[in-house]
Amino acid sequence: MPRSLEDAPTTVPVRLGERSYDIAVADGGWDALPAFLKPALERSWAGRGCLKALILTDDHVAKLPYPGLVARALGSLGIEATTSVVPHGEASKGLATAAGLYEELVATAADRHTLVVAVGGGVIGDLGGFVAATFARGLPLLMVPTTLLAQVDSSVGGKVGVNLPKVKNIVGSFHQPIAVWIDVASLNDLPDRELRCGLAEVVKYGVILDAAFFDSLEADAEAILGRRPESLRRIVARSCELKADVVSKDEREETGLRAVLNFGHTIGHAVEATAGYGGAFQHGEAVAVGMVAESRLAERLGWVGRDFTTRLTRLLDRFGLPTSIAGLDPGPLLESMARDKKNQGGRIRLVLPRRMGHVELTDAAETADLKNLLDDLCGPAPL
């Protein structure tokens, strides 16, 4: 069936030398997947001999059409796919589930050319990516993220991994996919709260890298919340582009450049850890309150004016995201921040805004200032 030009997926290149790949952002249009995937397979050493695939998904996504659409596209390329379904949720992202998937790969006589396809949210992408990274020292990987958070965040950058019982994401590696296929129509199946969580990361990209993008989110907020396909495609493609640009300059998180992506996450992670994972704050919600709190800190350092935080808070509010940590206990928050991976020489480091579209990694905040800030923010909200 011929398709009009408007229906063709938007393509975002991720430039990583010999590990470069493309992200397709489509609205439906699954007929285009084989033509998108074929050159990606041919570019990759492992993809070239691909005859088999393992599609990994969870029991929620398994009820949706996406795993079947992937299998059909693979079939048209002569690739025979088997599908493996794991329970949804964070508990599946561990070594035990990975071990089970290794055994399935052995049982299907997988070789170094077997394609792993991760169809689902962040858990499926991270878990499937880790299995692909470590089976036979690396299988080709196709990411098909179906949540907004996975589309704009975890599907770009090659970070894959699983949790230990007490530490999230601590076992893993960097493993770039050969391609990413995003269908924004999958966002129609997403609960409101999950859509909002993805929007927190989208807002973050505007703040850290692109003032015009932030403007456009304010202007387009209604259409985004109304899940208008053109708006969703635009924000997903631009978010991927912005993240891809950062990742291409610091693939393995070694130069400090990739740290800008951590805006909102230093306090955000502390909130998430303190309030308990999967508890009061989901990841995107913790990032939202983290961005507001870190913006307040930037105010105290004289980096931005009060109007900056007001504007940020207003957009997050409009997206239905929390913006306050009033009522939390400041002590454990500070302790958690003191363990942040970015810290150096015993000083807490954060990524703070200088102006819209620009942030900097800094250790300028004294621990006493941080404590004061958290005391103020955790206290009862002013009337």
Q: How far is the CB of 161 from a second copy (least distance, A)?
A: 7
Is 1 or 137 the residue whose CB approaches a second copy more closely? 137
Pairing between strand 10-14 and 21-26? antiparallel
∠ CA(359), CA(361), CA(364), 5° rounding?
Answer: 110
Cβ atoms of 226 and 184 within 8 Å: the answer is no
Is 1 or 166 the residue whose CB approaches a second copy more closely? 166
What is the C-alpha separation between 241 and 244, in angstroms, rounded? 5
Q: How far is the CB of 252 from a second copy (least distance, A)?
A: 7
The answer to whether 63 is a known catalytic residue is no
The answer to whether 243 is a known catalytic residue is yes
Q: How far is the CB of 198 from a second copy (least distance, A)?
A: 23
Catalytic residue among 93, 113, 159, 204: 159
Eight-state DSSP code of residue 229: H
Please check if 201 is assigned to a binding site: yes
Taking CA atoms, 219 is separated from 222, 247, 299, 363, in Å, by 8, 28, 25, 34
Q: How far is the CB of 137 from a second copy (least distance, A)?
A: 5
Eight-state DSSP code of residue 153: I
Please check if 168 is assigned to a binding site: yes
Catalytic residue among 113, 196, 234, 258: 258
Q: How far is the CB of 17 from a second copy (least distance, A)?
A: 11
Is 88 or 168 the residue whose CB approaches a second copy more closely? 168
Please check if 265 is assigned to a binding site: yes
Residues at the interface with a second copy (CB under 8 A): 45, 49, 95, 98-99, 102-103, 106, 111-112, 133-138, 159, 161, 164, 166-167, 170-174, 252-254, 341, 344
Residue 163 dihedral angles phi and psi, to the nearest 5°? -95, 155
Catalytic residue among 93, 233, 283, 349: 283
The count of C-alpha atoms lying within 13 angstroms of the C-alpha of 304, restricted to the half-sphere facing its C-beta, is 24
Catalytic residue among 204, 265, 296, 342: 265
The answer to whether 339 is a known catalytic residue is no
Is 95 or 211 the residue whose CB approaches a second copy more closely? 95
Contacting residues for 20 by C-beta, under 8 A, at least 6 apart: 13, 14
Is 137 or 382 the residue whose CB approaches a second copy more closely? 137
Q: How far is the CB of 264 from a second copy (least distance, A)?
A: 21
The answer to whether 269 is a known catalytic residue is yes
Sheet with 10-14, strands from edge to edge, namely 10-14, 21-26, 179-183, 141-145, 115-120, 52-58, 80-86
Is 238 or 243 the residue whose CB approaches a second copy more closely? 243
The answer to whether 60 is a known catalytic residue is no
Residue with tokens 């880790």: 130
Q: How far is the CB of 341 from a second copy (least distance, A)?
A: 7
Catalytic residue among 6, 18, 137, 166: 137
Q: Quick one: tokens of 178?
A: 């050969």
Please check if 126 is assigned to a binding site: yes
Residue with tokens 């990524």: 351
The answer to whether 42 is a known catalytic residue is no
Residue with tokens 């036979």: 136
Catalytic residue among 113, 175, 243, 342: 243
Please check if 147 is assigned to a binding site: yes
Please check if 123 is assigned to a binding site: yes
Cβ atoms of 37 and 95 within 8 Å: the answer is no
The answer to whether 343 is a known catalytic residue is no
Is 2 or 346 the residue whose CB approaches a second copy more closely? 346
What is the C-alpha separation between 349 and 362, in angstroms, rounded? 5
Please check if 113 is assigned to a binding site: no
Eight-state DSSP code of residue 94: B
SS3 sequence of 27-72: CCCHHHHHHHHHHHHHHCHHHHCCCEEEEEEECCHHHCCHHHHHHH
The answer to whether 163 is a known catalytic residue is no
Distance separating the N- and C-terminal Cα atoms of the chain: 60
Catalytic residue among 201, 272, 294, 299: 201
Binding site membership for NAD(+): which residues?
122-126, 146-147, 159, 168
Binding site membership for Zn(2+): which residues?
201, 265, 283
Catalytically active residues are 137, 159, 201, 243, 253, 258, 262, 265, 269, 283
Binding site membership: which residues?
122-126, 146-147, 159, 168, 201, 265, 283
